[in-house]
């Protein structure tokens, strides 16, 4: 099978074995990635949340606790290592995780501890919480975040400010869904006010300074959003600042794997981005960063 060097996802590969809101086994997800024609597929399972107050409703219903989340993550890491070692020639698998920024007072030491212990090939740095309230989940949580920040503009600015801090302090290889605040925020008003744009600009500058790759996250397309994350103006601003993009299918089961990547490619090309910045493996198996043209051979 021909595997285009640009066909890389660095965010996704969640599976039902280790995540309450995903389906399938990790082996099935990786099989789907091979069949979808990926050149390189990055696994970024959610890190275990450190305190019971951050468990999701469904996890509580299942009777899960913090210890169980940790056991699941260890099992994920072991299975990911096995699958990396079993990869066929020409297809590359990267073992990573998606970090969190809770609790407010010690997320950084927790994330650095996980990185030191599991030695992942890469990490995705994401902000899913502001003032310790989840911002991409149920409306009641989003509204608690709104209240904590004194309204929508305050929340959007706080989101991007936390994102910039996370990028500078944790230095993830990949920044997850740059404008995730849009997901719920757009229902409450304008998430692109001048103050919001300034704060988003600071997050882009942090990515430029640290060399982070931005996740061109196509999960929104599956959920009927008009465009992937980030929005067009953010893609253009980041591109102008010299920041690279890589696709993320944010797959939560075999059925999601590869979905939206071709639309994501057209989206980037339409905004003047001709190449992606990918992580992959060299022949010796070491993780390397490369620039891959989005144009297929013979395509103008
Ligand atoms: Zn998830
Ligand atoms: Zn995420």
C-beta of residue 61 within 8 angstroms of C-beta of residue 89: no
Q: Which fold has domain 8-293?
A: TIM Barrel (3.20.20)
Distance 298 CA to ligand 2 centre (A): 36
Give the pLDDT confidence score for residue 300 in this predicted structure: 61
CA max distance for the chain: 55
Least distant ligand from the CA of 127: 2
Reduced to 3 states (helix: H, G, I; strand: E, B; else coil), residue 69 is helix
Give the pLDDT confidence score for residue 112 in this predicted structure: 98
Distance 177 CA to ligand 2 centre (A): 7
Reduced to 3 states (helix: H, G, I; strand: E, B; else coil), residue 248 is strand
Least distant ligand from the CA of 253: 1
The ranges assigned to domains in the chain are: 8-293
Distance 98 CA to ligand 1 centre (A): 9
Distance 284 CA to ligand 1 centre (A): 31
Cα(141)–Cα(5) distance, rounded to whole angstroms? 40
Least distant ligand from the CA of 252: 1
Distance 166 CA to ligand 2 centre (A): 14
| Residue spans of the chain under pLDDT 50 | none
- pTM of the entire structure? 0.97
Cα(288)–Cα(280) distance, rounded to whole angstroms? 5
Distance 180 CA to ligand 2 centre (A): 8
Reduced to 3 states (helix: H, G, I; strand: E, B; else coil), residue 144 is helix
Least distant ligand from the CA of 128: 2
Least distant ligand from the CA of 217: 2
Cα(77)–Cα(18) distance, rounded to whole angstroms? 10
Q: Read off the pLDDT of residues 47-97 as tens digits, 9 standing for 90 and up.
A: 999 999 999 999 999 999 999 999 999 999 999 999 999 999 999 999 999
Cα(179)–Cα(127) distance, rounded to whole angstroms? 10
Distance 36 CA to ligand 1 centre (A): 20
Q: Which residue has the tokens 């975040």?
A: 145
Kindly compute the dihedral angle of the four CA atoms of residues 85, 82, 66, 55, in this order, to the nearest 10 degrees: 70
Least distant ligand from the CA of 45: 1
Distance 126 CA to ligand 2 centre (A): 6
């Amino acid at each position: 099978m021909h595997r285009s060097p640009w066909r890389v996802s660095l965010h996704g590969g969640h599976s039902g074995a280790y995540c309450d809101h995903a389906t399938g086994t990790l082996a099935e997800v990786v099989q789907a990635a091979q069949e979808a024609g990926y050149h390189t597929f990055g696994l970024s399972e959610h890190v275990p949340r450190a305190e019971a107050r951050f468990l999701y409703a469904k996890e509580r219903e299942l009777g899960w606790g913090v210890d169980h989340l940790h056991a699941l993550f260890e099992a994920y890491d072991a299975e990911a290592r096995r699958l990396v070692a079993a990869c066929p020639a020409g297809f590359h698998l990267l073992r990573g995780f998606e970090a969190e920024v809770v609790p407010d007072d010690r997320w950084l030491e927790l994330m650095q501890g996980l990185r030191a212990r599991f030695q992942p090939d890469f990490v995705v740095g994401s902000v899913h919480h502001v003032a310790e309230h989840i911002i991409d989940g149920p409306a009641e949580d989003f509204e608690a975040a709104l209240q904590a920040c004194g309204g929508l503009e305050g929340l959007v600015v706080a989101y991007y400010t936390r994102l910039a801090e996370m990028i500078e302090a944790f230095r993830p290889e990949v920044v997850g869904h740059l404008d995730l605040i849009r997901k719920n925020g757009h229902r409450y008003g304008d998430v692109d006010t001048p103050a919001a744009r300034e704060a988003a600009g600071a997050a882009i500058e942090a990515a430029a300074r640290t060399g982070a790759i931005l996740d061109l996250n196509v999960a929104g397309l599956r959920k009927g959003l008009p465009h992937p994350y980030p929005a067009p103006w953010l893609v253009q601003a980041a591109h102008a600042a010299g920041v690279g993009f890589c696709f993320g299918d944010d797959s939560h089961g075999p059925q999601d794997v590869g979905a939206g990547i071709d639309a994501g490619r057209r989206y980037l090309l339409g905004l003047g981005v001709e190449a992606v910045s990918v992580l992959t493996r060299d022949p010796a198996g070491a993780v390397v960063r490369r620039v891959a043209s989005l144009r297929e051979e013979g395509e103008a």
